[in-house]
Amino acid sequence: MKKGLLFLLLFVTIHVFSQDTITKKDIAAASKLFDLSFTEKEIDTMYAGVKENLIGYRLMHKYAINNSVQMSIAQNPVLPGMIFPTKQEKIKWITEKTSMPSNINDLAFYSISQLAYLIKTKQISSVALTTFFIDRIKKFGDTLACVISITESIALEQAKRADEEIGAGKYKGLLHGIPYGLKDLFAVKSTKTTWGAAPYKNQQIEEDAYVYTKLREAGAVLVAKFTLGALAMGDYWFGGRTKNPWNLNSGSSGSSAGSASATVAGLVPFAIGTETWGSIISPSSTCGATGLRPTFGRISRTGAMALSWSLDKIGPICRSAEDAAIVFSAIHGTDGLDASAVNKPFNYNPSLDIKKLRIGYAKNYFDRITDTSRLELKVLQTFKDMGVELIPVVFPDSGVYNFNIMDIVISAESAAAFDDFTRNNVDDEMTRQTPFDWPNSFRVSRLMTGVEYVNANRHRYTLMQKINEAMQQIDVLICPTRGSGNQSAITNLTGQPAVCVPIGFDKRNGLPQSITFLGNIYGEAAILLAAKRYQESSVWEDMHPPKFK
């Protein structure tokens, strides 16, 4: 009886949901999209199963799923045999003693350490410093199209609390009382979280993101939420295009567009960005910031918009490697709510002798540079002048990254993250609709099979093994930011940390250029020290766009 009822229900379900909307010709045509070929007999045998699958899909589509819901499969950048320190050592920061500038506008480009010294020694209050940066945001934010919202009431409340705590002798550390901004894909209660996209420009998520909570606990002061390319792509958002502070006719790149632009223009001492594939490194390089993309899983993504669960990473955008180390030391870790996030030590030693690090350079990328005046070559010479013996390393690229693994992984996951967005035609409300924007990308991705996604991730695992093998002989790998083949895609897939710093200006367009330091898994301390030592031997991080001084 039960068996008969089950068959009856199955028959009714098939009739209601399928109604023979799939034909055998459809299967034959669809197979071509997946590089397959089926015989007529095979299609006959498949036909009932394909229709039954469609029933399951349609049932699933009746239940909306929030962007914040994770996959049950969590990416892990750690390979078998990897061993990491377990104890967090106390970081002995080097105090930058300073005094208030004669020209108050110079404060805009003081380092975090300098600002912290001014606050700790009560040369300036957090309220006064916060008001100073809010005024700069109001003055220059529209010029750069880099601000989505100014969180003035939150900022003044947090700044007042910081002053009270410091006055009572409860100093929390270098970020206590320091203003900053967030990329507007992080939820903060009582604020809009727009994701940079027109359909969500009035969205409020009543949650505090993990990274915001960590910074609040450190005493930092949130002054603004900055622009991002719509749904974390590029520098075009629902209000226009974020500008490059060095040339207002150029975009800032993205997707952490506003975070990079605002930091470089001195609207905040630092900002928080995210990267799935280039979204910290690219705008930082383009605008002349120091951008840290940490190891995958280093910082919990709770309260952040999900684009790709196995690729999304959070990191600071600053004006120096030392500032990036200060911010990272406060925000790394997990709340236990992000399945991929971990607590691992960050044992940064700003006093360490650079010659104690094994520093390599990507020989196969540098060998492609035929113009001997290229700035990247001068970086290598700077390290040689420090007494560093650079180790040539062939970065695994050609013959390893044989097809676009990244495109398959990011396309499948992002389309899933925005399933309802596509299915309910919310995508029609997006400002940009080119073949290269998310609306079309999500639609194209719907024609990818689960088999291809799984196999791409199996190739990804092989890639992780190859990169680990190449990186074992070094602590830091110096790599050109541009002209480095598939390096960006590869290291985002493997989860390797990277930091980029400015190295001068392109003689063709006058825009900043950068170098990238790659590290081993959880190796942020080494790459930040290398970047710090380079910046101590150069002048580029001290150069600021004239329009914003």
3-state SS assignment for residue 251:
strand
- Specify the DSSP class assigned to residue 122: T
CB 365 within 8 A of CB 487: yes
Helices (H) and strands (E) in the chain, counts: 18, 15
Cα separation, 431 vs 199, whole angstroms:
9
- Asked if the peptide bond before residue 255 counts as cis, ω within 30 degrees of 0, the response is yes
Alpha helices (runs of H) in 62-174, residue ranges in sequence order: 112-120, 126-144, 152-167
Residues designated as active site: 183, 255, 279
State which amino acid sits at residue 82: M
Distances (CA, A) of 488 to 90, 479, 483, 518: 32, 10, 10, 10
Sheet holding 290-293, edge to edge: 147-150, 221-226, 179-183, 271-275, 313-318, 290-293, 498-505, 512-519, 476-480, 359-362, 391-393
State which amino acid sits at residue 341: A
Q: 521: which 2 tokens?
A: 């898994």
Q: 439: which 2 tokens?
A: 């609306």
> How many residues does the structure list for the chain?
549
Angle, in degrees to the nearest 10, between helices 405-417 and 450-471: 130
Q: 306: which 2 tokens?
A: 């999900």
Element (H, E) at 275: strand 271-275
